[in-house]
């Protein structure tokens, strides 16, 4: 299942990267003569209410959804891990400030926090990137802080301090390699969550701006003709489900590989 998930995810990534070459039509091209057509040899997944080819929009929507779904958790992991390392290692006022900010952000559900920030910043790619980064960074900070606190009193860290190594060297060479495993596991799982959240916010009108395609706004646009032409909703929903399932399977496999208790 893990190998099959890797193959599926690799295929989706390649389709997104080479969207211009793979898509049979321009995803923005409209035709009043091709409105709400059923799947056919010409349009494999039919057309939407504006006559746009659904398959082409799904392919181009993959680029937006994957780009945000991957870049936001990665950026959040970098920021959150740094904050967790600093707070857990130094303690004191730095840990208190980082901890209070983290607790404040964790008090909001991810979707609610995303809606609040997106509504304040308006919609668009960069707003979505900031929304998802702010929503995920505290979770990485909490994990990194807990792992750093556990290692702070470890003999090899105390030996490094006694040897006169700088704090930056200790954090980079001795603590970070030992906490990166849990961070990577959470990262793989939160990429799937980020794709779902991007689709949700785009469905609510707070994500990718029309006419540019993302899986979320394809579903939203398809609601206007859901009973006459449900193909945009079905196709985008399947794309989200397959991608998220593949990422979750890979995340479980990564967790099993990096978890010492599971290996033994």
Residues 90-137: pLDDT tens digits?
888 888 999 898 888 888 887 787 777 777 777 777 888 888 888 899
Q: Is the pLDDT of residue 263 over 80?
A: no
* pLDDT for 166: 82
* pLDDT for 94: 86
Residue of 25, 67, 51 lying closest to 225 (CA atoms): 51
Q: Is the pLDDT of residue 260 over 60?
A: no
Tokens of 51: 């006559």
How far, in Å, CA of 133 to CA of 83, rounded?
14
* pLDDT for 259: 62
* pLDDT for 15: 92
Residues 9-60: pLDDT tens digits?
999 999 999 988 988 998 888 888 888 888 888 888 888 888 888 999 999 9
How far, in Å, CA of 128 to CA of 205, rounded?
11
Please give the angle made by the CA atoms of 60, 19 and 243, to the nearest 5 degrees: 60
Check if the beta carbon of residue 184 is closer than 8 Å to that of residue 258.
yes
For 206-231, give one letter per residue: b (16+ CB within 10 A) or e: bbbeeebbbbbbbbbbbeebeeebeb
More confident residue, 229 or 7: 7
Residue of 73, 55, 70 lying closest to 239 (CA atoms): 55
**CA quadruple 150, 155, 156, 158: dihedral sign:** positive
Residues 69-92: pLDDT tens digits?
899 999 999 999 999 999 888 888
Of the CATH numbers 2.40.10.170, 3.40.109.10, 3.20.20.140, 1.10.3720.10, which one belongs to the domain with range 2-7+63-263? 1.10.3720.10
């Amino acid at each position: 299942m893990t190998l099959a998930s890797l193959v599926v995810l690799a295929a989706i990534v390649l389709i997104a990267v080479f969207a211009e070459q793979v898509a049979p039509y321009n995803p923005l091209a409209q035709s009043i003569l091709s409105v709400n057509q059923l799947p056919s040899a010409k349009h494999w997944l039919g057309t939407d209410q504006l006559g746009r080819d659904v398959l082409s929009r799904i392919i181009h929507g993959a680029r937006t959804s994957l780009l945000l779904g991957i870049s936001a958790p990665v950026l959040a992991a970098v920021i959150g891990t740094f904050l967790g390392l600093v707070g857990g290692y130094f303690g004191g006022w730095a840990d208190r400030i980082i901890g209070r900010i983290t607790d404040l952000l964790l008090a909001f559900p991810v979707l609610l926090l995303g809606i609040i920030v997106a509504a304040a910043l308006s919609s668009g790619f960069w707003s979505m990137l900031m929304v998802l980064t702010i929503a995920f960074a505290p979770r990485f900070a909490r994990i990194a802080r807990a792992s750093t606190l556990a290692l702070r009193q470890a003999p090899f860290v105390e030996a490094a301090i006694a040897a006169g190594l700088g704090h930056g060297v200790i954090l980079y060479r001795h603590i970070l390699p030992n906490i990166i495993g849990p961070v990577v596991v959470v990262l793989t799982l939160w990429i799937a969550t980020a794709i779902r959240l991007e689709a949700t916010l785009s469905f609510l009108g707070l994500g990718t701006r029309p006419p540019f395609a993302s899986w979320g706004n394809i579903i939203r646009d398809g609601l206007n003709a859901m009973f006459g032409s449900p193909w945009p909703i079905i196709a985008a929903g399947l794309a989200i489900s397959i991608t998220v399932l593949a990422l979750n399977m890979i995340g479980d496999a990564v967790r099993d590989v990096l978890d010492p208790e599971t290996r033994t």
